[in-house]
Chain A
């Protein structure tokens, strides 16, 4: 999906470059996180239909988004983390004032096979499972059955979130199975008795069992009130308070249509 997405956005950029030079319309340029990318792209197609303003979206990672904003090569930087102090300092030195707007909330659910009796895992238990220290469900209060660890491919946004929030620098065991998408992780977990995986909250259904983390059930409500730890805010950074078309774009998450798009993509609306 992501591959096709980046190809699509590339095509979009190309056509827009052409259109832009032809009509000299001021396009909104967006760069940054691959996690926020889908939201930005859906917003972009909605925005272009509604306001006839071209929007280009590229996905090169949060760090690169920040870099482009600092260099003035984009209007909006998508970021799946807040800007680091040194990035803000670099921006200030160049006369740019980065302002964050929250786009949506991204929650991760730890899922297991429906027959698995385990209901709750602590953060450190999850980290131990994924680093290969805990290898049997018995060690976390389940039946005596080996754990099949399922992760996402190395640069997926979901994987990044997981590594950042849970692993905290520890390495995922290299015998972990790797799946290409939220959907295929769900598919594998729903069919494999010993499996554990993590998927976006929007992807969960009755085929897999959500596990509470540190005693908190994952849901839109617990993500919203910051009690569920496997969640983070997704941002769009702009230079100063956004105004004009850029302002309208950044405010899309607050509109009804924006909320609908966010929900459809499996994220959680903050507003």
Chain B
């Protein structure tokens, strides 16, 4: 067959340029078949991914429903008494749900500002050559296996927090808060004296307000720092430890995706902004960030999902005590998360002996699935709406 078509092509070539694309009917049919089968294969593979998601939902839900049928909703969501092995067993997951929220929120508080600022720095401030080296290094954080993070958190970071936790917190506070407060003082004194017209008066008032606000800020820095230094961390496997480690795990996602979004804004908008007389700060804050906000939001949600779903680190380093810290925002107490509970109890809870005990883990899995599904859905909606606003519809 190949021989005959080859001959055919030779003839076509001989007969002139215009008939080069003429193919035999048979070959055309073959082409069509291969095209269809290729498309079909791609569709099959693509739909397989979607079907897997549906199947996961279905199987998790199928094993989660018996729990609620056996024990109802009230205990699971309102009690923080988690004693699955006691007689009678109690399955109050409130403290565990709260633990998940706590570390997710904690890691978001660290990772989101840090990630967004880092991505702005990468895309708008650093020169191109530096960026080319820095971005891969940040993205390398994502390549470290989570068990390695967990090991670090448990063996290195936890003892460190126990031994010198106070000073570490104090220095971190100074390093982060001092420049931020300095910037805030400068901007605030500028804004305060902006309405004043007269020149010498303005200069003096500017100086006075800057000094006043500056000393206030310094006092604030000092007292918070002293309080932090005085803290004694009883156990290093706590919510703070996990939040910090999780934030580092979420960082590469946030930085990488939001940097891409900032890059996608393009030269035209930036140059337009500069042409209107805007400074670089104004361009970044008022033009680039709003234009990239949907992408940044998607990055943030991806990062938060990473923190919520992480298992190994929290299982190793959160302490796994199923109680709500006292006071509720005390990040220095150990907590337990949904993911860690599923990982830790699954091996022990077999289907035959404790059916509620087995199914309660699936209830937790379903809860996690629903939360990530809903937040993905919301972010999708926000992105769509943002796009509409930006395109002027």
Q: Which of the candidate stretches B154-162, B196-204, B382-390 sits at the interface with the other chain?
A: B154-162
List of B residues within 8 angstroms of A177 by Cβ? 235, 237, 319-321, 334
Q: How far is B80's CA from A148's CA once the two chains are assembled, in angstroms? A: 20
B347 touches A2 (CB 8 A): yes
The answer to whether the Cβ of A52 comes within 8 Å of any Cβ in the partner chain is no
Q: Which of A167-189 contact B (CB under 8 A)?
A: 171, 174-180, 184, 187-188
Q: How far is B81's CA from A219's CA once the two chains are assembled, in angstroms? A: 36
The answer to whether the Cβ of A6 comes within 8 Å of any Cβ in the partner chain is yes
The answer to whether the Cβ of A101 comes within 8 Å of any Cβ in the partner chain is no
A148 touches B234 (CB 8 A): yes
The answer to whether the Cβ of A64 comes within 8 Å of any Cβ in the partner chain is yes
The answer to whether the Cβ of A192 comes within 8 Å of any Cβ in the partner chain is yes
The answer to whether the Cβ of A257 comes within 8 Å of any Cβ in the partner chain is no
The answer to whether the Cβ of B252 comes within 8 Å of any Cβ in the partner chain is no
The answer to whether the Cβ of A194 comes within 8 Å of any Cβ in the partner chain is yes
Q: How far is B354's CA from A155's CA once the two chains are assembled, in angstroms? A: 11
Chain B residue nearest to A6 in the complex (CB) = B347
List of A residues within 8 angstroms of B345 by Cβ? 153-155
Given contacts A148-B234, A191-B162, contact A178 B344 (CB under 8 A): yes
A154 touches B85 (CB 8 A): yes
B349 touches A155 (CB 8 A): yes
Q: How far is B349's CA from A83's CA once the two chains are assembled, in angstroms? A: 23
Q: How far is B82's CA from A244's CA once the two chains are assembled, in angstroms? A: 46
List of B residues within 8 angstroms of A153 by Cβ? 320, 344-345, 348
List of A residues within 8 angstroms of B348 by Cβ? 2, 34, 153-156
The answer to whether the Cβ of B323 comes within 8 Å of any Cβ in the partner chain is yes
A191 touches B353 (CB 8 A): no
The answer to whether the Cβ of B352 comes within 8 Å of any Cβ in the partner chain is yes
Q: How far is B352's CA from A188's CA once the two chains are assembled, in angstroms? A: 33
Given contacts A154-B84, A180-B315, A191-B159, contact A174 B347 (CB under 8 A): no
Question: A247 to nearest B CB, angstroms?
Answer: 29
The answer to whether the Cβ of A270 comes within 8 Å of any Cβ in the partner chain is no
List of B residues within 8 angstroms of A178 by Cβ? 319-322, 336, 344
Q: How far is B350's CA from A61's CA once the two chains are assembled, in angstroms? A: 10
Q: How far is B155's CA from A158's CA once the two chains are assembled, in angstroms? A: 23
List of B residues within 8 angstroms of A179 by Cβ? 320
B237 touches A187 (CB 8 A): no
For chain A, which range describes its interface: under 10, 10 to 19, 20 to 34, or 35 or more residues? Answer: 20 to 34
A61 touches B353 (CB 8 A): yes
The answer to whether the Cβ of A117 comes within 8 Å of any Cβ in the partner chain is no
Q: How far is B321's CA from A146's CA once the two chains are assembled, in angstroms? A: 16
Question: B344 to nearest A CB, angstroms?
Answer: 5
List of A residues within 8 angstroms of B236 by Cβ? 191-192
The answer to whether the Cβ of B86 comes within 8 Å of any Cβ in the partner chain is yes
The answer to whether the Cβ of A193 comes within 8 Å of any Cβ in the partner chain is yes
B344 touches A60 (CB 8 A): no
- A1-34 Cβ-contact flags toward B at 8 Å (1 or 0): 0110010000000000000000000000000001
Q: How far is B155's CA from A146's CA once the two chains are assembled, in angstroms? A: 21
Cβ contact of B235, chosen from A60, A187, A192, cutoff 8 A: A192
B323 touches A174 (CB 8 A): yes
Q: How far is B278's CA from A208's CA once the two chains are assembled, in angstroms? A: 64
Q: How far is B323's CA from A176's CA once the two chains are assembled, in angstroms? A: 9
Q: Which of A51-85 contact B (CB under 8 A)?
A: 60-61, 64
Q: How far is B119's CA from A183's CA once the two chains are assembled, in angstroms? A: 41
The answer to whether the Cβ of B240 comes within 8 Å of any Cβ in the partner chain is no
Cβ contact of B234, chosen from A64, A146, A160, cutoff 8 A: A146
The answer to whether the Cβ of B246 comes within 8 Å of any Cβ in the partner chain is no
Q: How far is B334's CA from A155's CA once the two chains are assembled, in angstroms? A: 20
Question: A149 to nearest B CB, angstroms?
Answer: 8
List of B residues within 8 angstroms of A180 by Cβ? 315, 344
Chain A residue nearest to B95 in the complex (CB) = A174
Question: A176 to nearest B CB, angstroms?
Answer: 6
Chain B residue nearest to A151 in the complex (CB) = B321
- A198-229 Cβ-contact flags toward B at 8 Å (1 or 0): 00000000000000000000000000000000
Q: Which of B226-251 contact A (CB under 8 A)?
A: 234-237
A60 touches B352 (CB 8 A): yes
Q: Which of A6, A160, A178 has the most chain B CB within a 10 Å cutoff?
A: A178
B162 touches A192 (CB 8 A): yes
List of B residues within 8 angstroms of A6 by Cβ? 347
Q: How far is B349's CA from A198's CA once the two chains are assembled, in angstroms? A: 22
The answer to whether the Cβ of B57 comes within 8 Å of any Cβ in the partner chain is no
Q: Which of B145-183 contact A (CB under 8 A)?
A: 154-155, 158-159, 162
Question: A135 to nearest B CB, angstroms?
Answer: 11
Which 3 pairs of residues, A with B, have the shortest CB-CB distance? Answer: A3-B347, A178-B320, A155-B348
New contact pairs (12) apart from A175-B321, A192-B162, CB-CB < 8 Å:
A3-B347, A154-B85, A156-B348, A174-B80, A174-B83, A175-B334, A177-B334, A178-B319, A178-B321, A180-B315, A191-B158, A191-B236
In the complex, 21 of the A-B residue pairs with CB atoms within 8 angstroms, ordered by the A residue number, are: A3-B346, A3-B347, A148-B234, A154-B83, A154-B84, A154-B85, A174-B80, A174-B95, A174-B323, A175-B321, A175-B334, A176-B321, A177-B319, A178-B319, A178-B320, A178-B322, A178-B344, A180-B315, A184-B154, A188-B237, A192-B236
Binding site for A on B (CB under 8 A): 80-86, 95, 154-155, 158-159, 162, 234-237, 315-316, 319-323, 333-334, 336, 344-350, 352-353
Binding site for B on A (CB under 8 A): 2-3, 6, 34, 60-61, 64, 146, 148, 153-156, 159-160, 171, 174-180, 184, 187-188, 191-195
